[in-house]
Structure formats: structure tokens, C-alpha cells
Copies of this chain bind each other. A is one copy, B any other.
Amino acid sequence: MRITSETSTDGVREQLFTLGDVPGVLWTPDGSTGPRPLILMGHGGGRHKKDPEILARAHRFAADGGFAVAAVDVPAHGDRPKVPAYDRLVAENRARVAAGEELAPLIARFQALVSARTVPEWRAVLDALQRLDHVGPGPVGYWGVSLGCGLGVPFVAAEPRVRAAVLGLGGALASAGEAAGITVPVTFLLQWDDERVPRDQGLALFDALGSAEKTLHAHPGGHDALRPHEPDSSLAFFTRHLTHA
């Protein structure tokens, strides 16, 4: 792992890094030393590791919760090169939607393809980050909605270091089987009028989660309209499950 830059904004240190060909970013409270719980965040489709949605929450988690927070670019996103196989599938999916097919199963198919790469990448990123003095081998949380949920479900199911996850804006078609393998506490965010994920598919993914402790938070509005109070509740959730462990 190579740290390529370090800056500080509003009490939060931001370190850009690369691990092999994976570009990432790590946020920690300014001046922090010693181990602390780590939250890995997965960005949405077409977005990137420093998307405003990620950045605002990461700052909140680091500044107000004392967490280390990291995000990496998903293949074909952010600073990473295009992946011809993804482009072909996206083009094919567009044509199918234009021809009247449902969007949700096509999203699911795309996410399954991408997660075959991201699950091992993210596990390697955890390995590397946890060797840093100001991260260390503590408990890990995961936050990801939309594509970050589609990729997050197989990751959380596969990675025993993850002790709590915020997921959402995803449907059961993508990952009901893997969801059943998740047993850690989950907060699941659902937009009641989601135009990309049919409501029954979102409810079915929440239902499929194997976790004994899981909470569904649903709000009116479309796929891109998560509520301003959501970061408060995510911060309280991670604090409960990662810092009292």
C-alpha cells in the first residue's frame, strides 16, 4: 500500500492511497494515533470514492465518532480504467430496458459480475489498512447503498471482520442468497418511492438478511433522495456496535 497524498480539512486527515491498481482514500481524525474501528464505505453506481455522499458521511464518522473511514473506487469508476466487459453489459442492459425488460434483474446481473472483483479487493484493502498504526486490527463496519449495497451484501457475508453494516437501496434479486448469510446487525435504508428498486424487492432483501438484529428505515422519496438525518442514525448505530465491542 502506497500513501500518495495527505491533507486535512475540518479536523479530518485525508490520505489517498493505492493498493496495487486500486485507488482509495482513508479518513481519520486529525492527530489520531493508535487503533480505532474502521468503516469501509462502498460508493454508488457511476460515482466514486470521494463522491459528496461518501465524503460528507466519512467526515461525520471520523470527526464525530472517532472512526477510521475508507473508500475505494469500484472497477470502471473514479480513477480506474473502463472495463470493456462492463461496458458491453451496460449497453446490453440499456437495449433490454429500451425493449421493455425490467431494470432490476439487469442491475442484479451487473452487480454480481462486479462483486466477483470487489469482494477480494476490499478484503485486501482491509488487510492493508489494518496494518497502519492509526487504524489497527479493530472491528470493521460497512456502509453502502445502491451499488454499494449490491457489492456490500456479498462482501459483508464473506468478511468476518465486519461486525455491523448499513445497507440499502438494493433489492433481493441481486443477492438474497448471500443476504441470508449475513448475521451481523444491519440498518437497511429503503426509499419508499424508489424508481430503480421496486418496493417489494427492497423489502424482500431486508427480509432475506439472516441477522437477528436488523432495522429497516424507510422514507418517502426516490432512489437519490436519502434523508438528511440518516447519517445521525448511522453514526449512532456504528458507535453502538463497533466501539462497545
By the criterion of a CB under 8 Å from any partner CB, how many residues of chain A are at the interface? 20
- Asked if A61 is at the interface (CB within 8 A of a chain B CB), the reply is no
* Nearest B residue (CB) for A211: B220
Determine if B232 and A215 form an interchain contact, defined as CB atoms under 8 angstroms apart. Answer: no
Inter-chain contacts of A218 with B (CB < 8 A): 206, 215-216, 218
- Asked if A88 is at the interface (CB within 8 A of a chain B CB), the reply is no
- Asked if A229 is at the interface (CB within 8 A of a chain B CB), the reply is yes
- Asked if A33 is at the interface (CB within 8 A of a chain B CB), the reply is no
Q: Which of B207, B216, B233 contacts A216 (CB 8 A)?
A: B216
Inter-chain contacts of A207 with B (CB < 8 A): 192
- Asked if A240 is at the interface (CB within 8 A of a chain B CB), the reply is yes
- Asked if A109 is at the interface (CB within 8 A of a chain B CB), the reply is no
CA distance A232 to B240 in the complex (A): 12
- Asked if A161 is at the interface (CB within 8 A of a chain B CB), the reply is no
C-beta contact mask, A229-243 vs B, less than 8 Å → 1, else 0? 100110010001000
Inter-chain contacts of A227 with B (CB < 8 A): 215
- Asked if A212 is at the interface (CB within 8 A of a chain B CB), the reply is yes
- Asked if A217 is at the interface (CB within 8 A of a chain B CB), the reply is yes
Q: Which of B192, B215, B236 contacts A217 (CB 8 A)?
A: B215
- Asked if A50 is at the interface (CB within 8 A of a chain B CB), the reply is no
- Asked if A214 is at the interface (CB within 8 A of a chain B CB), the reply is yes
Determine if B220 and A212 form an interchain contact, defined as CB atoms under 8 angstroms apart. Answer: yes
- Asked if A82 is at the interface (CB within 8 A of a chain B CB), the reply is no
CA distance A216 to B217 in the complex (A): 5
Jot down 24 A-B pairs with beta carbons below 8 A, ordered by A.
A190-B216, A192-B206, A192-B207, A192-B216, A203-B203, A206-B218, A212-B220, A213-B220, A214-B219, A214-B220, A215-B217, A215-B218, A215-B219, A215-B227, A216-B216, A216-B217, A216-B218, A216-B219, A217-B217, A218-B218, A229-B236, A229-B240, A232-B236, A233-B233
